Amino acid sequence: MGIGTLAHAVGHLPLKQLTEKLSARGIEFVQLALSKAISDIDTSLGRLSPALANHIGEQFHRTGIRIGVLGCYINPIHPNPQQRRHEINRFKEHLRFARDFGTSIVATETADLTTYLAQDSERYETIGWAILKQTVEELAEEAERWGVFIGLEPVFTHTLSTSEKMVRILEEIPSSNLGVVFDPVNLLPPTAVVSQEAFLDQAFAAFGDRIVLAHLKDVVVQNDKLEAVRSGKGIFQTKLFLEKLHRVKPGIDISLEQLADDTIDETVQYVRSLLG
């Protein structure tokens, strides 16, 4: 399994400095959110090109790190249609140039479940779902055109809030270019803390075959709420998760989260020790 992390975990830096700093961290790949990680290149909407994507990808490759996934975390159900269109276009641009960066995955979450609560307290989930479906259908067409994957990341408090909803979107939009970014802690409801194995088994049974990337962190309980922390510092059954993940998706990339520059090395070593 490939071990990586967010490129901007080491800071918002010029490209050469960024890649050099990451090269010493013992990782195989990065999840690259362009504007969060690279400070000396304008990567805003309309600026990308095959040559620029190749240049960035080559800089990572020279230091022994590949770009495993582009992080383009848009709000696909933004209430402002103009802003939503801007974000959709930005994601589509990432899809078009993903392979020039050296990857085939562009990832996003799906925005807060309560986005339309103030507008309609009874139908807010239905409204959000309809807009999400419309957005993902458009993005899936673009992904199919370029032969790349959309990585949708379900989160307990977002529009894709459960394993069942993740399955539903995959069924309602039957595109082979839709995949799942599985972060078990993000999808873990508070009630499942004591029954993690059952939760993991249910999730893997529901969409395990569609996972294209795994995220990994840990969790603690604070004031009856779950709080994310880095791996090895909480109560998530990390070893159990990795064993199940390996059986379902051997060799898949795992991006470590909740890391800062000074915690990457220790956390990478911890996860590698669990992988044997």
pLDDT of amino acid 99: 98
Q: What is the pLDDT of residues 138-189, one digit of tens each?
A: 999 999 999 999 999 999 999 999 999 999 999 999 999 999 999 999 998 8
DSSP string, 85-111: HHHHHHHHHHHHHHHHHT-SEEEE---
Residue 234: what are its φ and ψ, rounded to 5°? -145, -150
Match 């992390």 to its residue by tokens: 5
Q: From CA 105, how far away is CA 98, in angstroms rounded?
A: 7
Given pLDDT bands bounded at 50, 70 and 90, which one contains residue 224? confident
Q: From CA 8, how far away is CA 240, in angstroms rounded?
A: 28
pLDDT of amino acid 258: 96
pLDDT of amino acid 150: 98
Residue 258: what are its φ and ψ, rounded to 5°? 60, 30
Assign 148 to helix, strand or coil: coil
pLDDT of amino acid 88: 98
Q: What is the pLDDT of residues 122-144, one digit of tens each?
A: 999 999 999 999 999 999 999 99
Checking if the pLDDT of 20 tops 90, the result is yes
Given pLDDT bands bounded at 50, 70 and 90, which one contains residue 262? very high
Q: What is the mean pLDDT of residues 50-79?
A: 97
Q: What is the pLDDT of residues 89-104, one digit of tens each?
A: 999 999 999 999 999 9
pLDDT of amino acid 232: 94
Start-end of H helices in 106-225: 124-146, 163-172, 184-187, 196-207
Cα-based angle 236, 268, 10 (whole degrees, multiple of 5):
110
Q: What is the mean pLDDT of residues 218-236?
A: 91
